Amino acid sequence: MDSRREEYSRNDEITGNLENGLLCETCAQSLELDDARAGGVRTISPKNGKAVFSFPTRDYVNCVENGTQSEPRLVTLPLLPELSDECRFCCKVKAEFDKAYGPFDSWQSPMQQASFQVQYKWARKEDFFDHDGDTYDSLNKLELTLHHPSHKDKIVQFYVAASSLDPCREWLGITKIPLEEKSEFTERKAIVVQDWVNKCALNSECSRISEFFHSFFVPSRLLDIGSRDSNDNFIKLIDTETSDLLYDAPFLRYICLSYCWGKDGKLLRTTTENMKQYKERISIDSSMPLVFRDAISVTRKLGIRYLWIDALCIIQDGDHGQDWAEQSTMMGDVFAHAWMTIAAAVPSSCHESLFHPRYNNSIEVGFKSSINPKISGDLTIILTPCGSSLLNNDMQNSRWNSRGWVWQEQRLSQRLLVFGKYMLRLRCHSRDFTEDDEHHMYWLPTESAFFTNDLKHWSVIALEYSKRQLTNPGDRLAAISGFVKLLTKRNKHTGKQVKYLAGIWLSPDIPLGRQLLTIESAPSLSYYELLEKHANPQRYLAPSWSWVSFNASNYLRPRISDKISFKLADYNIEPLSRTSDATVAIKPGSSISLSGRLRNHPWTSVERDYAPKLELSEINGHKRCSITYFNRVADDQNERAPGARLSTASSNSFYYMKIIKIPSVRRKVLSCFQSKEMARKALYTVESGAS
């Protein structure tokens, strides 16, 4: 149906909907909106001088409630034969009835009748960007009320949308735009995204973050993809240190690609062997992963010449991964200084497209104003209930959103252009811009930590990040190092002195004791496996006293008293190699020493599933002690003495420390021990105040 034609009869509207196979005649009539019956009047908008629909009084609830409600429609349980299987709205009503009342026995009562009716709902809104106090009346939702004689009514709401060129959009104050069935990045979408970027640039919060990143940084390598109008079927790799790009560093614009490599390992990548060839030409053909080709197309349409893709801009072999080790230390800067990051949220591998077919879950209803006959067009009813956020649905079940490296890419990118399953969205540091033209404030604890330099949300960050997956578990420190470095820089920029020790912060914002208390949701490793993990360099992730050492899908950090009677005496953190740094990878045996009071352990090993074990060892002439725990059932029975509180093992060449919370005692003793060897000078104990 042509949304821009000015006049057509109501019979034509209904017939058109039937021909499209979307609505039955009964639904087309019940969904028809009469703006005169709603109680509105024609007024002039003070912003642009155009005629708009509005309610004559601020107290317009009665007009809305009484003016646009349809007559109740009766349906017979349990099959609802009155509803057509060929009508999309009838099918939706059936589904909502079944969801609301299907689980009850009364649903199967033969010949019992239920009913439903629909009603359009308005909302009084303020312009999202112009906070000048002016409000306007907006047609916002369609409300479906389900009635069952034996149960409470069920209300389901659906958003109402209209295309940007439809006359009824401005007349009725509709804010949402219907989603296109095709997800390809068209020139029109490029214009929309550029408008989002302009609004982002005008935001004070985004400007403040942008100024912080306005420094001399350019990635070591970039892909030159040509100009906006380029039709070249090739790109080339540029070594920025030997090019003129360094002179333009403060003004250089480039885009990053965030994506999933995939499990098959077959990926176009830069190696020492082909790098010289790639500096001359990289063909855009079937040998190039599809998501790379799509990213090149999007970048060109946005008028940006340079693109960064890790597989092509980092040498993937040679010299034991030295280039990767060097580049990984700069990964945070690469994404933080990018003009934008393209996020491939749907593809599970680089061989899938950035663009995916969309399911059309909406219906169109013809509209002609009874107040202003010149206004006519189409209303789009989005049949996804308002409580089901398409924004959240885009992230759920997304493999990309589950990856560890992606976590910091999401948070450090100044602008994240997400190609999701349902819609296109741009997330900046203050809000979400979405393809349906809804704008959402975006403020999470992890972003708050970055904005305010406040580390009190670090426990939330640890919880979020620990749920992410990594192809190489040894990257657990590296994949968050970029975020850590910029957070450190930001704190020092404001005069705060902080220190980062393999996942643990030395900062007045977050007590050390709270960070050392770690609980896995379901510990599954035996005592021997825990020891082997820290003794084996191939399995080593981080020191045992850091939450990073737990390669678990879920990680919890409970709240405890901040009055911990111990202090940090010393620490020894060394980077794994000369080309790395301590935020990326550290040597096994990195340690911290704590000083505090000692007391007897109040809990015997036979009372709990896990028993503590004290271990003493000597590393490079320094004596170390630690507490481990072992499972009384899973571990070798010969290795424990029933009822023994502590045992020592001085033959180990490494040490392991596990802090234990004992919920049964009034005092929250995290770990306490008494050792003859260390009676005079306590190197480690943790104790909190009374609960």
pLDDT reported for residue 552: 62
Residue with the bigger pLDDT between 658 and 118: it is 118
pLDDT bracket for residue 528 (50, 70, 90): low
Q: Provide the 10 A C-beta neighbour count for residue 189.
A: 17
The sign one gets for the Cα dihedral 236, 239, 244, 248 is positive
Dihedral (CA of 498, 504, 508, 512) sign = negative
pLDDT-derived band at 228 (thresholds 50, 70, 90) equals confident
Beta carbons of 315 and 324 less than 8 angstroms apart: yes
Q: According to the model, what pLDDT value does residue 673 have? A: 32
Cα distance between residue 190 and residue 187, in whole Å:
5
Question: Do the Cβ atoms of 516 and 686 come closer than 8 Å?
Answer: yes
Q: What is the CA radius of gyration of the chain?
A: 31
Nearest one of 559, 528, 522 to 629, comparing CA atoms:
528
* Mean pLDDT score across all residues of the chain: 75
What kind and span of H or E run contains 16? helix 10-19
Asked whether the beta carbons of 177 and 164 are under 8 A apart, the reply is: yes
Does 626 have pLDDT greater than 60? no
- If 0-12 CB within 10 Å is exposed, 13-18 middle and 19+ buried, where does residue 55 land? buried
CB-CB contact of 26 with 116 (8 Å)? no
Least confident of 5-19, 27-41, 328-342, 618-632: 5-19
Please give the structure tokens belonging to residue 28. Answer: 């087309």
Query: What pLDDT, on the 0 to 100 scale, is given for residue 408?
Result: 92
Question: What is the C-alpha to C-alpha distance for residues 640 and 629, in angstroms, rounded to an integer?
Answer: 11
Residue 646 has pLDDT above 80, yes or no: no
Residue 288 confidence (pLDDT) above 80: yes
Q: CA neighbours within 13 Å on the CB side: how many for 346?
A: 21
Distance between the two ends of the chain, CA-based, in angstroms? 68
CA-nearest of 365, 366, 374 to 52 is 374
Does position 56 have pLDDT exceeding 50, yes or no?
yes
pLDDT at 650 over 50: no
For residue 76, what pLDDT band results from cuts at 50, 70 and 90?
very high
Q: Is the pLDDT of residue 615 over 60?
A: no
Which residues, in sequence order, are CB contacts of 13 under 8 Å at separation 6+? 1, 28, 32, 365, 366, 367, 368
Q: How many helices (H) and strands (E) does the chain have?
A: 19, 28
- pLDDT tens by residue, 105-164: 888 877 788 999 999 988 877 654 454 556 778 898 999 999 999 899 999 999 999 998
Res 319 pLDDT > 90: no
Number of Cβ within a 10 Å radius of residue 52: 21
Residue 267 phi, psi (nearest 5): -150, 135
Residues in the chain: 691
8-46 confidence digits (pLDDT tens):
333 333 334 444 547 999 999 999 999 888 888 888 887
Of 344, 527, 343, 542, nearest to 462 by C-alpha is: 542
Binned at pLDDT 50, 70 and 90, residue 520 comes out as: low
Other residues' Cβ atoms within 10 Å of the Cβ of residue 441: 8
- The label of the residue with tokens 């149960």 reads 151
Q: How far apart are CA 377 and CA 368, in angstroms?
A: 7
Residue 678 confidence class, pLDDT cut points 50, 70, 90: very low
SS3 sequence, 527-566? Answer: HHHHHHHHHCCCCCCCCCCCHHHCCCCCEECCCCCCCCCE
Mean predicted confidence (pLDDT) in 593-603:
62
**In Å, what is the CA distance from 263 to each residue of 350, 418, 472, 518?**
10, 22, 12, 31
Tally Cβ neighbours within 10 Å of residue 247: 10
Two tokens, residue 437:
């033209």
The predicted pLDDT at position 603 comes to: 44
Q: Which helix (H) or strand (E) holds 503?
A: none
Written as six digits, the tokens of 664 are 């049964």
Closest CA to 176 of 120, 219, 138: 138
Taking residues 451-476, report their average pLDDT: 79
> Left if phi > 0, otherwise alpha if psi is -120 to 50, otherwise beta: which for 68?
alpha
**Cα–Cα nearest to 480, from 503, 496, 455:** 503
DSSP secondary structure letter of residue 70: P
The DSSP bridge partners found for residue 168 are: none
pLDDT-based confidence at residue 305 (cuts at 50, 70, 90)? very high
Type of residue at 334? V
If pLDDT is split at 50, 70 and 90, which confidence band does 524 have? low
Of 108 and 264, more confident: 108
Q: pLDDT category, 563, cuts 50, 70, 90?
A: low
How much is the pLDDT for 9?
36
| 185 — pLDDT class (breaks 50, 70, 90) | very high
**Distance between CA 648 and CA 658 in Å, rounded?**
15
Q: For the ranges 126-135, 273-282, 480-489, which has the lowest average pLDDT?
A: 126-135
What is the residue whose two structure tokens read 């920025």?
240
Q: Are 354 and 347 in contact (CB under 8 A)?
A: yes
The reported pLDDT for the residue numbered 444 is 44
